[in-house]
Structure 1
Amino acid sequence: MFSRRSLGVLVVAAFAVAVGVATETAARAAPRLPPSPVLDSCPDPVDPVEAATVEEVEQLLVGTWLRCGDTPFMVGDAGPLGVALTADGRFFRVYQGSDGGLVRVEGLEQEGTWTVLASDTSYQVNLTTSGLGTATSGGLEFFESPSQVRFGTMIGPGAAVRWTGDPPVPGSVPGADDGPCGQPRDPLVLTSVADVEQRLVGTWVRCSETSGFGTPLEGQVGLEIVEDRRFFRVYRGADGNPVRGEGDGQEGTWEVIDVTSTGEPGAFQLNLMLGGRMSMNHVVLLQDPIHLRLVSEVSSDYQLWDGAPLPLPTAPPEPEPPEVAPPDTQPAPAPPPDGSLPPTGPSPSIGLLGLVFLAVGIALRRSTRSAAR
């Protein structure tokens, strides 16, 4: 029989075994992700580096820069880990790959161009992202220990540290899909207001949840932009072809304006005026096939109608109701032979730790009964 001391040892040993097995099981189930190279906070820099010309600033900026802490970043958002600036005036957003290394991503919203501008007292860098517009970082300051750049943005001061490990390799955004309209695609270079106006004329079928005016009206499938500076909301006709909407709120006017800033050619804005409202959208045109993106508070995506009948709109499937057992159809459980009350709910599952303690409890009960005898 077990003595009380041996039972105590057994309890401790059983508990240790159960906890060890459970910990090992959890460790196997949890994915082991590589640590992020982004620093939790920006280190205090020393040894400032002076730059006297635009060319010297450009030379200092070439390389891969990573975010540090929660400060604003050069590309205007905190999505990527960093940004890689190349000597030919291009940049790429940088992410962490599945193996822990850095990958640089090309395509819409992932790459663009950068330029350095000089004022009387400081320098600024403008990063123009394809499909997203331009982010400006001014008051550039460089440091050597560690290699760091500090700057100011519209939402506050920011900083980035230079990456000194293996250079990023070409790749894709981890976990991303193709997005609406099968993106990404190659952006077209827009040269003038007349060029943009000519490319915009046509019927555009929506392939995103939003439209140039935010949430589209019920049944609306796109926009028709015509040469006389009018546009119409477009719906699917009975034959599958697009038809113009009729009545109030279905027709408006449009204009294209050049919002190019110094050193950043090719930026244009489409203004849609309807019912006293104006929707201002940055224009991005892509090819293979022709694709239009309008960027304002949200991004709206369209494809140029190819003449094929439009599909019928589909509604999301309604959720199936949960199964409910009919009342008074389940037989009542028979009372156990020892006269105890039957359980009133489903029995909980017993895990490994519960089984161990159940066995220990049975052994302790037997030992107590033997000692009483």
Structure 2
Amino acid sequence: MPHHSFVEQLGLALPVIQAPMAGISTAEMVVAASKAGFLGSLGAGMMSPEGMEASLRQIKSETTAAFNVNLFIIDHLPDYQLDAEDILFLRNIYEKMELDFILPDKYAPSFQEQFEVLLHAKPPVASFTFGILTQEQVSKLHAQGILVCGTATTSAEARAWADVGADAVCAQGIEAGGHRGSFLSDGGNGVGLLPLVREIVKDISIPVIAAGGIMDGEGIVAAISMGAEAVQMGTAFLGCLDAVLAPAYRKALAQHLPAESTVLTNIFSGRLARGIRNQFIEEYGSSQPFPYPVQNALTQALRKKAARDGNAENMSLWAGQGLRLIRDVSFKELAHILQDEIRTAVEKVNAAVSVTMHCGRSGS
């Protein structure tokens, strides 16, 4: 794949990927994003193979635009044994929230089964997080004409993806909302997007996508000037009318909280993720969670009840550090706004650069 053609090849009106937010991005949302000129992404990490098939059929029947499907490369830990002692604190939370504690029959779908669905459905792009594919798995996707994008939170992870033959790498800065895509480190010692992108761009020759805290046209231009070919935006889409969110979640985002109101926590899922600090994190954040996806499955009923009750204090309110800049518009409107902002930002940069060049010359 020639280096410059990632955005052109996918026929995108904007160099923007709508982040694949598992549990939030529905088929409708992907279609709306792709129709607006973004690369819509289905966060299929928690979907059953059957659910994936149905969603992919729906997307393909409603748009011919390119889209992406994202999976979690995880061991779904089918034989994980829970210790009765260790579950006590969760049992207590369930009791406090007046919920029956029922052990899930499985913690997550099988990645292998989801992967088979991908090969069969042939989406234009498949992206992966929490782990890395083998060279053989990448070749299988390529044989079906699927572009492969891996997630990296360090330059070592980016190199690992380049080595197995990925077509692009999504560089996820510590600013990003939701789960950390780390697989060679625990993701705690986070690198900011600016140094991360610069390091990765110098390290590998495949296209780099910048993710983390980018909310507007200025951010897109900044990322591209650092050498990224496109950006991935998640939180920026959450304020939009096309995103179907629990009302309490939407309300929390509509407060336009500052960047420092988000924190990294592993208490909801067993993996570090960035969200708005709330009572649940305050109270239980220092407890040792089970590994992902066990903890995720064990807290799911709690979070669902909180969402039903409109109680934001017990929900996982995933959001990146750019949440202050969330806008309440449609995906289509967002596309127009971003196009205008990109144009203005480029003009501003050009004006500043021509001034410096001019001053530089006169001083020689």
> When the two structures are superposed, what TM-score results if normalisation uses the length of structure 2?
0.21
Q: Which has the larger radius of gyration?
A: 1
- Structure with bigger helix share is 2
Report which structure shows greater RCO (CA 8 Å, sep ≥6). 2
Instruction: Say which structure is richer in strand.
Output: 1
